[in-house]
Every structure is written in structure tokens, then in C-alpha cells.
Amino acid sequence: MKNGVVIVGAGHAGVQAAASLREEGYDGPVILVGDENELPYHKPPLSKTFIKDAEAKPQPLRGEAFYSGSAIDYRPGVKVDRIDAGGRLLDLAGGGALAFDHLILATGSRPRTLPLPGSDLSGVVSLRSLADARLIRDLSAQSDEVVILGGGFIGLEIAATLRAAGRTVTVVEAVDRLLGRAVAPVVASHVRQRLEATGVRILTGTSVARLEGENGSVVAAITSSGERLPARMVIVGIGAVPNVELAQQAGLAIANGIRVDHQMRTSAPEILAIGDAASYRHWFTGGDVRLESVQNATDQARLAARTIASHADAYSAVPWFWSDIGDMKLQMVGLTAGGDSHVVLGDLPDNKFSIYHYAGDRLLGIESVNRPGDHMLGRKMLGAGFSPSPQTIADGPEGLKAALAAFLEKEPARAAG
Ligand code: FAD
């Protein structure tokens, strides 16, 4: 145990893994290496608040004192270039090497790029890091007109945020609806209506053919139908790709992410992978998934620490996610792909409702808009393996709480889930 654990990537997953190792009583060296030159920070506020407020400060995941106080050797601004899996050694960019007993890959994901004429112009940006957010904030101060490519969560959050800051915002989405398959069509069209009511222009079923520049800076996006959308800033938000290159070069198994087992071990057992970069067989659906959420990153980090501390738990967290788009708090729990029916609670015009998705009589997941109570209850139900009938759902939250309590009384072992 002389070399301890090295964690590559100081984002949500990496920092939680370092903290959890200490919580698990691991007393060997813990080295956290990150290629950003920052105190590790929360990513979700970047698209929701940070970019519209010149005074906003990044929100650190942990205070500076946490790292020294927990004997975590945090090394910012250090990029790992190569893994020698057999020799248990990392090569660092700029020279130097680091030996490990265990390695945790928490390298996250990066924005997908769009190969488009003009995409190298100044003012064409995407949002992943604090450095990106600072750039968008600076550009936004000089850009009345903004075009956002992609109608996914991050694109729509940015659209709502910049619109609230007074910008003219157009979202261009290639398919015929917003939010891809992430939410039910009824939720996607609700989000669209409310965003449009604030003045965001949304073009679906439309792509951007090219970007037009002047003196090296973007000035317009030209759509597939030939429309010219003036823009001093174009934000590309068309999804993310996992950072798997280090793992790939080291010969680890890859499957739309670094393939891990139920204990977060890669195909080399002393190397684990967690967070956005990791792909695993999900206990809930039986399919391979790679999730991009804070919950997934932090829960997998806790489990990786337990694996290294020799606990034999399997990953069984119920996935959940949130997004704030203007006046809508969207919260999702479970995985709803494969659903064949749904029940609605609440009221769309009130901007407060939840959709309960079923496959046959099995509850798969719940999408809520401004109904946090439904979301929290849903996490308890799915965590306990409780699948209420659509009729019980229709009875409303009080009936559901009573049904869950009755279920847990019969099956108390499930209460911890
Ligand atoms: P990251 O947090 O991305 O951390 C990975 C780190 O590894 C990065 O710092 C990267 O630079 C570093 N790294 C990569 N390769 C190397 C290398 N070779 N050497 C050294 N360092 C390396 N999720 C939600 O649940 N709700 C939200 O509302 C939400 N909003 C979001 C808003 C934005 C703008 C973004 C970008 C993401 C949002 N997410 C949200 C997703 C969430 O932030 C991610 O799922 C989460 O950050 C994943 O954590 P991670 O540690 O796997 O990756």
C-alpha cells in the first residue's frame, strides 16, 4: 500500500472518491490529479446562474482546507498523458510519473463538437468547464444575439439564463422535438411553450449549415433552410462524449465509456472508473448505460471507495437528475426508456405536474416539473422496489405515501433502499 490511490480527474466524481476513501478509513496516500487550474467546483450552476451574473463566484465542491485537513494531495493543473497498467504507473504531461496501487479514472466527458464550416471562428463556444463559463459570460456582455445549437438540457438552461439576462436567443434543434428522448413528449412540449413565452425562439427539425464570420469572429448562423440568424455568440450544446482515451490506450475494455463491473472495476481490477466516463450494466434495466449526472458521479465515487476498502457492495443506486430551465425545476428519477403508458398528476397550465411512466404494471420512473415532493417520494418508492398501481398514483401523494408505508411494513428490509 505504499503508493496508495491516485484519482485522475478532480470533478464531482474524483473529489467525492477522495473524500469517501477517508470516510471509509483508508489511510494510505490519496493523490487527486486534475488538469484544470481551479479549486474543484460545482458544474450545474454554470449554465443556470453563473453566466448571467458578472459578480457570481464559482461554488467549490469542498473548501480549500478540506484537502490538506483530509491528507488529500490535490494537484491542480496536472494532466495525465498515459497509463502503464502493468507497471501501475502514470505519465504526466510535461514530465514526471506517479505510481499507484489503485487508480480511479474520473475523467468525465467533454462537449461533442460539430464539424461545420465556420466552427473555428471566435465566438463559437461550448460549456463544460468554469473556463468555458467565464468565456461565455464575457462574450455575452458583448452579444445581444445568441444562437444555441442543440435543444438538450444544457442548451435550454443556457437559453433560459441568457434570455433572462435580456439577450435575443434562438435555439436550433435538428430533430423535431426538444430534450431528445430524455423526457416524455408532453414534458418536452411544455418546456418549449414556456420558453417561447419568455421570448426564446425555438426552431426544431432545423440544422445549421454553416457559420458566417467577419474578421475571424462569428456574425451569423445559416440554417439548413437558408435563414440567416445574426449572432455574436454561437453555443454548441449537442451532447457530450466520454473521456476514454487514457483507458483505451491502456488496453481497458470500452463500451460507450470505460466498461466497469458492479463494483466500478474496469477490466484491470486495480483500476476503477466512475462518473460520466464509466459505462456499466444497469441493475434497473439490464442494459448498458453511461449516465451524466451529479448523483451518478457521487454515488459511484462512494462505491469505488468502498471497493478499494474491500467492501463487496454492488452498485444499486436509483438514478436521478435535475435541471432548472427558467421557471421549471425538472426532476427525474428512474430510467423511463421502454415505457408503454403513463399517469399524470397535477396540472400543466399551473406549471406543476408529474408523469409516472410504466412498462406493463412496473413503474419505471417519474418526471416532475415543480413538484419536488413527488420526486422525493418517487426516489423512496423506486429505491424500495415498490411499484404502485396507476390507480394508486391517481389517488394522489397522500394515498401513495400510505401505500408505500404499508409496503415497507410488509418488507422492512427494503426501507434502507
Ligand atoms: P467532471 O465533473 O467533468 O470531472 C472530470 C474532470 O477530469 C475534469 O476536470 C477534467 O478536466 C478532468 N480530466 C479529464 N481528463 C484528464 C486527464 N487526462 N488528466 C487530468 N484531469 C483530467 N448534472 C445534474 O445532475 N444536474 C444538473 O443540473 C447538471 N447541470 C450541468 C450543467 C453543466 C453546465 C454541465 C457541464 C454539467 C451538468 N451536469 C448536471 C452534469 C454533471 O455536472 C456531470 O455529470 C458531472 O460533473 C460528472 O462528474 P465527473 O467527475 O464524472 O466529470
Point out the ligand 1 atom lying closest to the alpha carbon of residue 9: 7
* CATH, domain 113-238, list 3.20.20.80, 3.40.50.720, 3.50.50.60, 3.40.190.170: 3.50.50.60
Let me know: does 233 contact 136? Beta carbons within 8 Å: yes
Q: What is the pLDDT of residues 222-280, one digit of tens each?
A: 999 999 999 999 999 999 999 999 999 999 999 999 999 999 999 999 999 999 999 99
Give residues (CB < 6 A) around ligand 1. Answer: 8-14, 33-36, 43-44, 46-47, 79-80, 106-108, 127-128, 154, 243, 246, 275-277, 292-295, 297, 321-323
The architecture (CATH level 2) of 327-416 comes to 2-Layer Sandwich (3.30)
The alpha carbon of 182 and the centre of ligand 1 are apart by a number of angstroms equal to 19
The pLDDT value recorded for residue 417 is: 44
Q: How far apart, in whole angstroms, are the C-alpha atoms of residue 262 and residue 245?
A: 22
Q: What is the pLDDT of residues 191-231, one digit of tens each?
A: 999 999 999 999 999 999 999 999 999 999 999 999 999 99
Are 113-238 and 327-416 in the same CATH fold?
Answer: no
The pLDDT value recorded for residue 167 is: 97
**ipTM at complex level:** 0.99
Point out the ligand 1 atom lying closest to the alpha carbon of residue 110: 3
Number of CB atoms found within 10 A of residue 187's CB: 22
Residue nearest to atom 38 of ligand 1 (CA): 44
Residue nearest to atom 4 of ligand 1 (CA): 11
The alpha carbon of 274 and the centre of ligand 1 are apart by a number of angstroms equal to 11
Point out the ligand 1 atom lying closest to the alpha carbon of residue 133: 34
Let me know: does 103 contact 83? Beta carbons within 8 Å: yes
List the one residue out of 347, 348, 379 whose CA is nearest residue 363: 379
Reading the block at residue 294, the C-alpha cell is: 451529479
| Burial status of residue 162 (CB atoms within 10 A of its CB: 0-12, 13-18, 19 or more) | buried
The alpha carbon of 393 and the centre of ligand 1 are apart by a number of angstroms equal to 35
The pLDDT value recorded for residue 415 is: 56
Point out the ligand 1 atom lying closest to the alpha carbon of residue 81: 18
Query: How do the pLDDT tens digits run along the chain, 417 residues long?
Result: 589 999 999 999 999 999 999 999 999 999 999 999 999 999 999 999 999 999 999 999 999 999 999 999 999 999 999 999 999 999 999 899 999 999 999 999 999 999 999 999 999 999 999 999 999 999 999 999 999 999 999 999 999 999 999 999 999 999 999 998 789 999 999 999 999 999 999 999 999 999 999 999 999 999 999 999 999 999 999 999 999 999 999 999 999 999 999 999 999 999 999 999 999 998 777 788 999 999 999 999 999 999 999 887 888 889 999 999 999 999 999 988 888 999 999 999 999 999 999 999 999 999 999 999 999 999 999 999 999 999 999 888 899 999 999 999 987 666 544
CATH topology assigned to domain 5-48+60-109+241-308: FAD/NAD(P)-binding domain (3.50.50)
The alpha carbon of 171 and the centre of ligand 1 are apart by a number of angstroms equal to 23
Task: Report the residue among 16, 37, 43, 156 best suited for mutation to probe ligand 1: largest number of ligand atoms under 8 A from its CB.
Answer: 43
Point out the ligand 1 atom lying closest to the alpha carbon of residue 278: 52
Domains of the chain by residue range: 5-48+60-109+241-308, 113-238, 327-416
Point out the ligand 1 atom lying closest to the alpha carbon of residue 33: 20
The alpha carbon of 227 and the centre of ligand 1 are apart by a number of angstroms equal to 35
pTM reported for the whole predicted model: 0.95
The pLDDT value recorded for residue 330 is: 98
Task: Report the residue among 294, 323, 332 best suited for mutation to probe ligand 1: largest number of ligand atoms under 8 A from its CB.
Answer: 294
Task: Report the residue among 83, 98, 107, 134 best suited for mutation to probe ligand 1: largest number of ligand atoms under 8 A from its CB.
Answer: 107
Give, in order, the Cα–Cα distances in Å from 397 to each of 160, 353, 392, 394, 411: 30, 12, 9, 9, 21
